[in-house]
Amino acid sequence: MTDSAQNKLPLVLPQPPILASDGANWKNIQFAHFRQSPCQVPEHELPFHVICMNAGKPVRLEQAVDGQKETVDSVLGDLAIYPAYATQAFHWDTNTEFFNLFLEPAFLSQVGYDVFGRDRIELIPHLAALFDPFLQQIGFALKTSLEIDGENSNLYADSMAQALVVHLLCRYSSCSRPIKPVTGGLTQQQWRQVSSFIDANLDKNISLAELAAIVQLSPYHFAHLFKKSTHTSPHQYLINCRIERAKQLMLMGDLSLATIAQTVGFASQGHFTYHFKRIVGVTPKVFRQQER
């Protein structure tokens, strides 16, 4: 983000986040997991859209947003949507736990233009306890990705941000309406360009915008065409390629598993082992023993 969410939140929240994405180099979305004591949050504004999800026990939340006051009894999974630059103040009198997702307004406008041909789209605030399983799933998925993949979660975060914004635009914006499904896929030439780039940069923290730029598409359209062509997401395809390259390296010589993990782009040997076992069914150590 241009202005890090985590750099601004300590001004209004007493405790810092217990998990945050500020060190993961995510571009258009940020994640923070908070645990807070009873608190009176003074009136403030944030320069990004915020989706807040209750991640703990029930809490009574008193809030005032752009002059609108509302008291909500929030339970696990309940959500609220606060547009950028909305004047906000909050109060709760019990310990509380929540996730915040922060979105750059410019990113929402860009996706709005790609999807609807409009760049002036307003996000509608939702202060009452909102139930939305899709938003819940994205919140927990980003938390898990940050815990497991850490700074190597850039491509996954990009993909989740795209899906999140399209969902918000379709359901909680001034132009809410369904979108036409994407048909077709990448051309053979486009596929060769993209797959060659991925193969040559497995050790890099590739972003969705980088891949889209190779074939001169917007990240939104690229992600959909890629999935039509491969039946998987760019992030999962990248993980699969890393695993296949790791298999080759394990069979070619006696490189340590830590060295192989680093060579193919995993943040750590533990990160490598997690994905290898998830995809192959056995750990790298067992795979190497079985193949020799």
Domain ranges of the chain: 5-171, 188-231, 236-291
101 with 50: CB under 8 angstroms?
yes
Q: How would you class 73 by CB atoms within 10 Å of its CB: exposed for 0-12, middle for 13-18, buried for 19 or more?
A: exposed
Q: Which of 3-17, 21-35, 65-79, 99-113 has the lowest mean pLDDT?
A: 3-17
Q: Residue range 207-229: average pLDDT?
A: 91
Q: For 143-194, how does the pLDDT look when each residue is reduced to its tens digit (9 = 90+)?
A: 999 998 887 888 899 999 999 999 999 889 887 665 566 678 899 999 999 9
Q: Residue range 65-82: average pLDDT?
A: 93
Per CATH, the number for 236-291 is 1.10.10.60
Written as six digits, the tokens of 20 are: 């945050």
- pTM reported for the whole predicted model: 0.80
Per CATH, the number for 5-171 is 2.60.120.10
| pLDDT attached to residue 182 | 64
* Mean pLDDT of the chain, nearest integer: 88
Q: 183-194 b/e with 16+ CB inside 10 Å = b?
A: eebbeeebbeeb
The secondary structure of residue 81, as a DSSP letter, is E
220, 245, 266, 261: CA torsion to nearest 10? 180
| pLDDT attached to residue 27 | 85
Q: For 91-120, how does the pLDDT look when each residue is reduced to its tens digit (9 = 90+)?
A: 999 999 999 999 999 999 888 888 877 767
